[in-house]
Structure 1
C-alpha cells in the first residue's frame, strides 16, 4: 500500500485510540477499564515500522476485544467491529481533506457546499445533524448567514480532542454566529461520542450561545443511529417546538 493508505490507516487507528482515551477519563468501572486498556495496548505499535495492513489488523483486533468482552455497557451495543470501523472511517475520510477533482474542491468542501445549497437563508432553519454530519454541519454553518434558531447534534464525535478537534475548521472552535440555540444529545453506550461535554471545547458565539449537552438512554442492539436518538422525547420535543415556532413566522 502507498503512503495514502498508510496515512488513512494511521488516522483511523488514532480516532479509535482517542475514543478509548476519552472513555478512560470518565471513571469506568474496573472491568470496563481493563477492557479499554487491553484494546489500547493492541493499538499501540511495538516499535517496528508499520504498514497500513498491520495498522488495520491492530485496529480490528482492538475493536474485537472491545466487542467480545461480555457485560460492558460501553461496547455491548455495537453489532460488529465492521460497523464501528465504518463509522470511524467516515469521520477520518472527511477530516483528511482529500479527494480534489476537476472542480478543485476536496471531498469535505464538496460535502459542505451541498449542505449549504440545501439551506434557505431567506428564512429560519432548524438544523439536526448526526454523527459525522455534526462535524459537517458545524463547519458549514460558519459559512452560512441564514438564521438558525436551533442546532441539534446527535451522537457527535466533536468531543474527540486529539483525532477530531484539531482538524476541524475554523479553529479555535466557536459556535457558528447564526446559531441561537445548540442542543447536543449523547448516549452513554455510543462510543462515537467519546467526550460529550462540548461546551468545554467549543467557545460561545457573539450572542453568548454555547452548546448544551444532554444525556439520553436508548434500548436495543445499537444506539448510534439517528433514529434511536430522535425516538427520545427529550430530543424530539425541542425539535418539534422549534419547527412549530418556525412555521408560525
Structure 2
C-alpha cells in the first residue's frame, strides 16, 4: 500500500493475527505510515517473522517485533502485552484481528459444544482479553479497532457460531466505545465481506465462489489491502471523531449502514 495516513508516524500499534491475510496487510499499511508494529500470531511463526521484516523495510526507524500465544488464555495474553510494554514502553493502538472460520457447514443439529466454545474462544474471548489489556495501557488519543464480519449483520446459515461471535464483537465495540470515550480512546470495528485470504480460499472456488461473487455489486472479492486501509484509517487522526462505528467493507453485498 502506497501513501500514508495522518498521525500514525511514531505510533505504537499491536496487531493480533498479524502474520497473514488482513492482519499482514494491516502491518504493512501501518509501517508505510511510519508506525511501530507488534505482530501477534498463534502458530504461523515464520510468516510473522516475515511480516516483521516487511515492516522494517517500510519503516526502518520503527520498532517492529512479533510474539506468539493463545490470546484466549489470560496468562498468554498478559505475556503478549508485557512484551509490548518492553518493546514499546506504551501503546497507542490495538487491532483485534485474530479469528477463525470453518469452511465446512455446521447445521445447528450437528454443531457440538466443543466447536461452539472453540469458535467463541478464538473469535470473541481473545477480543475481550486483548481489549482489556490494551485499555489498561492506553492514554488519551489512542485507538482500538476490532475486526468483525458481514455475518454479524445478516447471519450466516450453517455457520451460526461464527456469526454469533462476530455479532458479539459489534455489541462489544459499541459498549467499550461509550465506556472509553471519556478517556479519549476511540473504539471502532471493521466488518469485511468476502476477502481473498487463505482462510476463505476453499469457499471461493467453483460454483460456490461464483455464487458469492454474484452477490457483490462491485463485482469482485476484496483483497486484504482493501480491509487494511479502512483499519488504518480508523487508527489515524483522520478518524479522530469516529467511535462506536461498524465500518462495512463488503463491496455493497450488505447495505446496513
- Answer yes or no: same fold by TM over 0.5: no
Scaled by the length of structure 2, the TM-score of the pair is: 0.29
Q: Which has the higher contact order (CA 8 A, sep 6+)?
A: 2
TM-score, normalised relative to structure 1? 0.30
Say which structure is richer in strand. 2
The structure with the larger Rg is 1
